[in-house]
Structures are given as C-alpha cells and as structure tokens.
Amino acid sequence: MTTAPLPIGLGVRSRFLDVPGRLVDLLPDDHNPLAWLRHGDGLVGWGEVARIATRGPGRFAEADAWWRSFAKHLDVRDEVGVPGTGPVAFASFTFTDDSPGSVLVVPRVLVGRRGGISWITEFADGDGRSAVQAVTPVRPTGTLRFADGRLPVGRYRLAVAEAVRRMQAGELDKAALAHDLLAISDAPLDPRFLLGGLVTRYPTCWSYSVDGLVGATPELLVRRTDGTVSSRVLAGTIWPGEGDDLPGQLLGSAKDRHEHALAVDSLAAALRPLCTELHVPETPSVIALPNVSHLASDVRGTLDPAAPAPLLQLAAAVHPTAAVGGTPRDAALDLIAELEGMDRGRYAGPVGWVDGDGDGELGIALRCAQLDGPVARLFAGCGIVADSDPDSEVREADAKMVAVRDALEAGN
C-alpha cells in the first residue's frame, strides 16, 4: 500500500454553483481528469489532494480504512448537503487480487450536479487558497492505427471454445472471458476527448474517468445511499443485425436467461448476509444501447442497521459477480487466468466514487480503455456458458468494443 503525503490544516468546502453547460466541458487539460456522469448529472474533478494505491485481497479494506481516517480529520463545510457533496474520492479497483493499480484519488476541485442542484467542492490548505484551473481546448485523437493486444481475436476464439468444452464436461457453469485491442495515435491521447464522446453517445450509461481508465458502463455494481443498497445486473446480450425483434429474442433466449440468472443469483447471495431485506426481480427487463441490448435486473436492499456496510465493504463482498467472473467463482477465475493469459488491470473491476459517509456509486468498468500516452488499450468480454458459440461470442465482443472505438475516432 502506498499513499501520497497529506497537507497540514486541510479544509474542504461545498457551496452552490450555477453550472449551465455540460459538466464534462469543465475539465481542464489535466493528465488525470476524474469523472462519473450519467444523464447530465454526476461529478467531475481535477487536481489531487491525496491518493492511496493498493493491491491484494485486502485492497478494499485497506482503501476503506484509509478513506475513513482521511475524511474523519478534515475540516468540512458542506453548504449543499446532497449525495456527492463534502469530501469525495474517485475509486478504481483491479479485477484480480494480484494485479497492481487499485486507487482512490481525492480531487482538489470537484463540480457536481444532481436533480437540478449544482455545486463546487474545493480543498484548500491553511491559507484558504483553492486550485481552480482554466479550461483549454480538447485535443482530438487524430489518426489511429490498431494493433493486437495481449490476447488477439484468434486466440480469444480458441479460449472461448476451450471454455465451452470444459463447461460441457461439467467443470463449471459460466466464465466471462475478455480480450483486448490497442489503438495507437501519433500524439498523447486526451482523456477528455474519449470521455466527451462516450457522454454524448451513451447518456444512459455511467461514463467515468479515473487514473487513465476511461469508459461508459451500463452496469451498476453497487450504490449505497442512507442505509439502502442497489445494483443493476446485466448479463445476456444481443446486437443489431441479429434479427428484427431484439428484445423479444433476448427475453426468449434460454441461453441468455440462464446466463443472466447466474449473475443475479451470485449478486443476491453476496448481498443477502449484509441486508435485512433484499428485493430481487423474478424476471429481467431489456435495456437498449446504440450498439447492443442487455437483459437487466435491478436489485434493491436495506442494509442491516446494526452494522451498515460502507460502500467499499459492499464492493469487497460482491466483486466479482458472475456477470464478469463466473460460476462457481473460484473455478471461473482460475479458468479466466489460464485461458486469457493476460492481466486485465482495472477492466471489469469496480469504478466510481465514495463520500465521507461511506455512500456512493460503483459501476463495473466495462466498455473502457486504459490510456497511456499515445496508446489506448481497449477491452471487451462476454459471458460464456455451455451452449455458447465461439464465433457468436467474437461478434458480441466486437459489438461491445464499438462504443470506445467510435468515441476515440469521432469524439464529440
């Protein structure tokens, strides 16, 4: 675990602010813009007051303990009093325990909007100075060339086929396999360009940017608000070109309904010990995005009031769900490590924000790219079950990758 040194005499103030335009357009040319946006609301931040970097099976607990201690010692003036005001940290965790790179980042300046109310939160040192920055024009991506990542499409197809073989032999029920693709520019990529493109094209998704990981996820891992917990589980996918009645086909697909049920059951089993009541829909609905449609279930619960788990503890309990890991969990994770043969980094890990009360939102880092100078590493994956078809799963992964590819190339 590593942490940045904390300033002395640190205070934080949230006050009302009129923000007429898009929040994403407020981000300066910062190497690490921070964002969590949906339907025009959300949070954007820049500058850095403090951070923790952690890894291992205890990474959620370490981050939670550090954040509680940090928030406890702040001098807080919150004049707004809605979720997302006061001290906030942006979070992004790795998919596996062993992978490095899990972080909490506390922005020096944060601007938020929720339900028609907007505000600014600023950290200042002992003399009261703040750190608002001027906004410079967003740099377009320019010409891109694509190259194989660590798991090219051909090997991904073989990995899917091998996973299907093992499931048909009864070794496990499901595994979510992914592959990657490199997009390479002639100049360093501007995270704001990709983020802005995703915000424009996928307003119903949660668009995010944390420590160079930029994406737009349709799947909410866990939200904690005033003693309640909620989650949106996605599993089962169809895309344009597969027929006319896409929602009907998806709801009528035994393969997709089975895959979805495994994901919902795994989430519910993880949350139930932490809740006094939990509502799990009997049947899924369908959400439609420009590139794909998914089966979706919204799970809601009431946390045990005797010991209400904070957001990061909830994340530790539910990650990884069967939607991005598999069933049984340990067997699926072993299979993923063996067949993918790559470090996913923070792809398919929890991403979002947490406040000083332990409330906040974490999505699953899907439809994303890890930016590193002129290189973007894109990811896409699919849930594999015994009757999956390798060629179909390759097409599904390609359809999911369209979101980031289009936003990288066309932007806003």
Active site residues: 174, 219
- Which residues are 327's β-sheet partners? 174
Which residues are CB-contacts of 50 (< 8 A; sequence separation ≥ 6)? Answer: 3, 4, 5, 6, 70, 106
d(CA 254, CA 263): 14
d(CA 359, CA 153): 39
Phi-psi region of 198 (alpha: psi -120 to 50; beta: other; left: phi over 0): alpha
Phi-psi region of 367 (alpha: psi -120 to 50; beta: other; left: phi over 0): left
43 contacts 35 by C-beta, under 8 angstroms:
yes
Q: Could you tell me the two tokens for 386?
A: 């015994």
Which residues are CB-contacts of 303 (< 8 A; sequence separation ≥ 6)? Answer: 224, 227, 228, 229, 274, 275, 276, 309
* Amino acid in position 91: A
d(CA 49, CA 131): 10
Name the nearest CA neighbour of 259 among 349, 209, 321.
321
Q: Could you tell me the two tokens for 344?
A: 């996913």
